[in-house]
Chain A
Amino acid sequence: MKPIWNDTQEYDLKSGKYVKIWQGPQHPGITGNMSIELLLEGDEIKLLKTHVGYLHRGFEKLMERRKFINCFPIVCRICVPEPDTNEYLFATAVEELSGIEIPERAKWIRALNLEMARLGATVMGLGGQAGSFGLGTIGQWAVAHRDFLLDSFEELTGGRIYHMYIVPGGVRYEIPEGFEGRLEKTLVKIEKLLSDIDKVMFHNAVFKSRSKGLARIPKDWIEPFGINGTTARASGVSYDVRKDHPYLIYDQLDFDVITGTEGDVYARTELRREECLLSINLIRQILAKMPKSGPVRTFIPDIMHWKIPAGETYVRAESGRGEYGYYMVTDGSEYPQRVHVKGPSYTHAMSLLEKLAEGNTNADIFGIMVSLQTYPPEIER
């Protein structure tokens, strides 16, 4: 079988034709702490290699030495903008292996929490995308509006960034009184922001001319590169874990999978704007349909001596950037045998970015990188 890309070509660095430069790990254009090694001919990228490891904290190894409940402060640190997906997946894997059913109201609160996290991360991602093309104002607006959501999170969970709110057996606390009204005010603010972003970003000649046709992902790359989430949907693949493998209460909500056709940076950004509106819609639906009373947490055994039966499972959920998966193996002891975290950046930022960068210019590389929503802690865990 023919390999998908040919990387056997050698570049003669002594010929004077090529320049090799490093960008990162501390660079305003790079998302997070990773560095890229560029081989340029003029302004055109010939070869890109991503280098990770600046944020390697060995989470998967650390979890092998910790009890199940002690893993919670670790898993949320795998993804800073959207930690709730990690908490949810770890809790679900533990519940599935130990056979715990969570109460109905806890499912709705979990979904509310996940949608709020997705909204915050996607709004900030839109700002980052604008910033990568020099429209810094939108980045400031987006971060400011995410802060309103962080206030809501603080009210709901007690934490702004890392919540540790979703625990095995349900969620930690009841929703505070009057929370729905205050969250609704934030949602209205974000809707206003999105219409403003429409005017200054999507109708902006600079953004349009730079991002249209940039880094187009053809549909036949989806499977070889393992692309999923918003990046795949912008290329026309209708795959959303919320719809295709409904978890929690997503089968009771009314929504459609948003897809694009072009698969370029503009299409991906536009799709994420639509995703923000979808999240707002889903949050409203969840608040309206949620059962108004009932327990939010079920009984779980003594957490410090909690032995989970031997087994293995893979659970998945849709994060703001793509499919997130946890593969957990237990051996009947108090500690997990192995926890493997599969984040969407893993394939997007390594193999796909290396392929997409070829032939693009040095100035556009950050736009491409942000549009793939790369996030290094997911890669090196």
Chain B
Amino acid sequence: MKELIERLRSKFNAKNVKEQRKNFVFITVAKKDLEGCVLYLKEFEGYGHLTLLTALDWIEKDQFELVYHLHNYSNKTDVSVKTFIDRKNPTMVSINNLWAGARVYEREIKELFGIDFPGCPRVNDPFALEGWQEIPPMRKDFDTKKYSEETYFPRPGRYTKDNVAQMEEQLYPVEAEVKNGIAKTVRKK
């Protein structure tokens, strides 16, 4: 693991190296080095399994962070390659030609974070949110509470716990109103 980190440092100028566990390391590379770095790890170091690809929104730093988590089946180690991209114009190079499974991740990130991956097939198709009009929902500035208050309305609830009265109100509203009105006036007396 130590030699691998040294090689990544010299080749791709890997920074912020953090060994989370003894067989698991986080590294950060520049945006332009990322494709070369994951390609090198895949082809020459045996990190052939893309465990996950996800994004984080650091709204205070005005940056998106992309995490490429790679796993090596033979020596059972993990490398998490991270990179930061600009939040104003989020575009990233697609790696769908390295891993066929990556296209799904990229499509999801395009929808949930609005990060574009030019060249990835079907990247513009909706993933889980068909007909979404708002800003991408996983961004930190998307207000879930405001959205749900504006979009969904509370259904009228039951005002009585008596089942008979409830059904009467639902099925025979006029008669129920008359009956309740009589009951009220009678009670008033």
Contact = CB atoms under 8 A, between A and B. Distances in A.
Contacts of A5: 100
By CB atoms of chain A within 10 A, which of B101, B121, B144 has the most?
B101
Contacts of B20: 312-314
B103 A351 contact: yes
B26 interface: yes
Interface in B78-129: 78, 80, 96-101, 103-104, 121, 126-129
Interface string A305-322: 000000011101000000
Interface in B144-179: 144
B101 A225 contact: yes
Contact of B52 (A56, A312, A329, A342): A342
A325 B97 contact: no
Interface string A341-369: 01000110011100100000000000000
Nearest to A62: B144
Contacts of A1: 97-98
B56 interface: yes
Given A52-B128, A312-B26, A340-B52, A351 B101 contact: yes
Contacts of A7: 121
Interface residues of B, number: 36
Contact of A351 (B51, B100, B128, B140): B100
A56 B54 CA distance: 17
A312 B25 CA distance: 11
A61 B137 contact: yes
Nearest to B129: A53
B110 to A, nearest CB: 14
Where chain A touches its partner, the secondary structure class is mixed
Contacts of B57: 338
B102 to A, nearest CB: 8
Nearest to A349: B104
B129 A4 contact: no
B61 to A, nearest CB: 12
Interface residues of A, number: 44
A52 B126 CA distance: 9
A254 interface: no
A325 B52 contact: yes
A314 B80 contact: yes
A337 interface: yes
B38 to A, nearest CB: 13
Interface in A40-74: 52-53, 56, 58, 60-62, 64-65
Contacts of A314: 20, 24, 51-52, 69, 78, 80
Interface string B30-60: 0000000000000000001111101011000
A294 interface: no
A226 B98 contact: no
A48 to B, nearest CB: 13
Contacts of B78: 314
Contacts of A313: 20
B128 A226 contact: no
Contacts of B56: 329, 337-338
Contact of B51 (A58, A224, A226, A312): A226
Interface in A1-60: 1-5, 7, 52-53, 56, 58, 60
A350 B67 CA distance: 20
Contact of A4 (B100, B127, B144): B100
A61 B111 CA distance: 14
A327 B56 CA distance: 11
Contact of B50 (A53, A58, A226, A355): A226
Contact of B128 (A56, A225, A325): A56
**3 closest cross-chain pairs (CB), A and B:** A53-B128, A223-B48, A226-B101
19 contacts: A1-B97, A5-B100, A52-B127, A56-B128, A61-B138, A223-B48, A225-B101, A239-B73, A313-B20, A314-B24, A314-B80, A316-B51, A323-B51, A327-B67, A337-B56, A338-B54, A350-B101, A351-B104, A355-B100
